[in-house]
Structure 1
Amino acid sequence: MIIGIESSCDESAMALFDPGKGLRGEWVHSQILKHQAYGGIVPDLASREHLDNFPPLLKEVLAAHRPVAGDLIAVTTGPGLAGCLALGMAVGHALSLASKLPLVGVNHLRGHAFSPFIQLHEKDPDGFSGQFRDCLPHLGLIVSGGNTILFRIDLNGNLEVLANTVDDAAGEALDKGAKLLGMPYPGGPLIEKQAANGNSKAYSFPRAFPQADVPRFSFSGLKTSLRYQLEKMSDADLEAGMADLCASYQAAVVDALQRKTRQFLEAGEFRSLGLSGGVANNQDLREAIQKVGNQQKLPVLIADPAHTGDNAAMIAFAAFADRAGCQEEPSTFDPSWELA
C-alpha cells in the first residue's frame, strides 16, 4: 500500500493506493471558503490550516489502514508554497519515523502528468503495465492555475517538457479575467458557468503564438485585452454582455490550448493524448482535447474530476507509476521544482 500526502497549496489531502487493486481511500480538506474573502490564496493562512487539518486526516487514514511492512509513504516535495510543503513534509517524516516505513518525495507536476492513467489502472490493475506501455509515447497537457505545460513521456517513461507558458498560466488568466469582471475567487468555474449561455464569437480576443514552430503559451495579453474591452463598456453594457464576454474570453483560452496541442500531436509520433490539472475540469476544454485526439484516432486520457486539482491520490499513484521520478528519503523540498 502507498500512503499519499499532498499539501502544495490550499488542499490538505491524504490517500491510500493499492498497486494490486487501486485506490482504497481518499481524504481531502479544502480551504477555498477560507481564502475567498481575500480574493486568492493567502500562504500563511494556508499553512495554519494544514497544521489544523492533517491530524484528523491522519486519524482517518490510520483508521482505514494500519501501515505494515512493505508499505510506502509518498509526499509532495514541490513545487508549491514553502510553508505548505513544509507541513506536508513534517507529516510524512513523522509517519515514516513512527511506522518505520520508507518515504519518497513526489513532484506535484509529475503527479498531474500521470493522473490520467489512474483510471486506466482502476479498470485493470493486473494489466496496467502493458496498457501503459501501449500508450507510449504519450503527449500530455497540464492546465492549472500556476502551470500550462505540454510534455512528452517517451518509451522509457522519461518526461520532456515541449511547451511552457512564458507568463500567466491558463488557469491564472481565467481567474484574473473573472476578477476584472467582478467575480469572486476562484473565478474560472464562474466564467465557465456564464459562458454556457453566451456567444463565443461575440468578442475578439487575441491568441498568442499561433505559429506551429513556437513552443510557448502566453495568456497575459489576453487578460490585458479584456481590460481594454471593459474600459469601453458601461455598467449596463457589461451586464447585458456578461455571458458573451465570458464565452469569448474562455474560447480564447481553450482555442490556444487546443491549437498548440494539435500542432505537437501532428508534428510528432504519439500513441495517446492526456489532459490534467485543475482547469481540466472545464467542459469546453475537455471536449476540445477529446476532439483533437479523435481527429488523430488516438486514445484520450483525461484525469477524473476528483484528481484534477491538488489531491493525494495522484501523489500516491505517481510513486507507483513513476518511481524513477521520485526522491528517495527526501530531506528537503523545492517550491520551484520543475516538471522535468
Structure 2
Amino acid sequence: MRPRLSAAAVVLAALATAGTALTTAAAHATPGRHISAAAYSRPHQAQAIDARGPGVFPHSVDYDPHSRRFVVGSLAHSTISTVSTDGTVRTLVDDKRLVSVQGVRVDSRRNRVLATNVDYGLADRSSPSTKLSVAGVASYDATSGRRQWYADLNKVAGDGKQHLLADVTVAPDGTAYAVDQLTPTVFRIDRHGRASVLLSDDLLAGTVDIPNFLTGVGATAVAWMPGDFLIVAKADGSLVRVPTRHPEQAGAVRLSTRLSALTAGIRVLPDGSIAAVSSGLLTGEAAVVQRVRPCDHWKAATVTVTDSVADPVTSAVTAGPRGSTYALSGGLAALLMGRPNDGFTLRPVDVG
C-alpha cells in the first residue's frame, strides 16, 4: 500500500485531466447529476476566498469562531496556518515534528487546534525511507501555536503496518478520535495526549484504489455526534456509525444512496445532519456537495445533492462565518506535479 511516486506520471496526468474536466463539467451540468450553484441561495455575505498562501497546499480546513479565521494544515510543510476572510494567510504553528498535516480540527472550548501528522513523501522534509511511516496527532494552543502534546499512533497500533491518518474530531469532553485510511482503525486520544485503539473492524476496511498512488483507501473523514458516537465517512461513499462507549456495536449506516466517491470531507450541520463533499479526483467530474439527514439515531440516512464545486480536487468542507459552509481546493494537483502555487481557494457552497 505504498504510494509509487516514482511512477506518478499516470496520476499526474489524471489530475491534470480532472482539473480541466471539473470546470467543463460544472459548465455543462445536467439535471440530477451536477446542480448549478446559481440554483441555490447561500448566506447573503458568503464570498469565495482566494487565500494568499503560496506553497501551503492545504488538504483540510476548520473554522475557529473565536478568532473568526479558518485554520488549515499543509501537505508540503510542517505548518498550520490561519486564513482571514480577506485571504490573508499567517503561520500559526511551525513544528518540525510535523511532516505533512492531513487533518485539522479546532477545539474552540479549549482554545486548541488538533492536527494529524502523515508522510506521503510529498513534503519538503520527506525521504523515500519515511513514506507512510509517520502517524501522529498533535495538539496546539490556538493563540500561541505552542505544542501541548504529540501522540505517536504508530507506536499505539503496534502492528507494523503503514498508516495514514485521514482526519480527527473532538468530543465535548476533549477526547479526540482519529481515523486511518490504510487500516480499519479508529484511535482514541484523551485530553492529555494518551492514546489507544478504540476500534479495529473490517467495516472500515478500504476498497478504493487511486492508481499509482494509494491502494485500499478506507476512512477519509470522521465527526463526533451528539449521543456520543462517531460517523466515519469512507472513500467509497459509505458511512459507519461507531458508538464510542460500545465500539463493538459499530455498524454501517443504511443510506438512501451512497455518497459520491471519493468522499473527501464532512461537516456536522446545526440540525444534526451532515454536509459531505466529494473530491472529483477519480471521476474527472465536478465535486459534489450532499446533505445527509439521519433516521433512527443515524442507523439510516437519506442523501440528497445540494451543490457542486468546479475547483479541482476539492478535499474538505467546513463551517464559515454567519452560518455559511465552505469547500476547500488546496492545490493537490500542482503539488503532485512539483509545481508552485499562488494560494488556494475556499468557496461557499449550498448545503440545502
TM-score, normalised on structure 1? Answer: 0.27
Which protein has the bigger helix share? 1
TM-score, normalised on structure 2? Answer: 0.27
Larger RCO (CA under 8 A, 6+ residues apart): 1
Which protein has the bigger strand share? 2
* Pair member with larger Rg: 1
